[in-house]
Amino acid sequence: MNKFIYYPLFILFLITIFTQLINIGNTSFGYEGSQEQGISGTQTLNETENTLEVAGGSLSLDYNLTVGIVAIIVSAIVLGLIGINVLGSGLPDFSVKIIWNGIIFYGLWAIFSVTGYNFFASIPVIGVVLWVALTLVYGLGVFGRMGGSND
């Protein structure tokens, strides 16, 4: 067990759970209303907005360039991993190990960092210092795992 990977990841996981438990009170899941047939409304389409407006409110269907770029990057990574592992790539085993471990471990770190962002943002300086310290220790652990013989 690589303590430089699992301890920071466990701490970030606990911060993520704590952040989500605190923010769960701010989310409303209630529903009040009725369903009607034949709702008439207007749809506004231009280069910055896609909104469906009806008598009781509106539904925003906005997509921006960032969402599209992230979707393309994620799908390229997934397809690349499938190609490397199933079809082979001609890369040495060590290169495949670096790619696989990098995507798995840094993907987990990115997910927990994004979901725990509110915690780090709520503590102005100490939160950033804590996140950077955890990231540095985690990065050292991932690099050690990539260079080591443990799979």
The token pair at 77 is 């990574």
120: its two tokens:
């780090």
CB-facing half-sphere around the CA of 15: CA atoms within 13 A: 24
pLDDT exceeds 80 at position 122 = yes
Q: Which one has a higher pLDDT value, 124 or 87?
A: 124
pLDDT digits (tens, 9 = 90+) for 26-56: 655 555 655 554 555 555 555 555 555 666 6
What are all long-range contacts of 25-29, with beta carbons under 8 Å and residues at least 24 apart?
Answer: none
For residues 105 and 151, the model is more confident at 105
pLDDT of 138 reads: 93
Interatomic CA distance for residues 83 and 87, integer angstroms = 5
More confident residue, 137 or 78: 137
- Per-residue pLDDT reduced to its tens digit, 77-118: 777 777 666 666 677 777 777 877 888 888 889 889 988 888
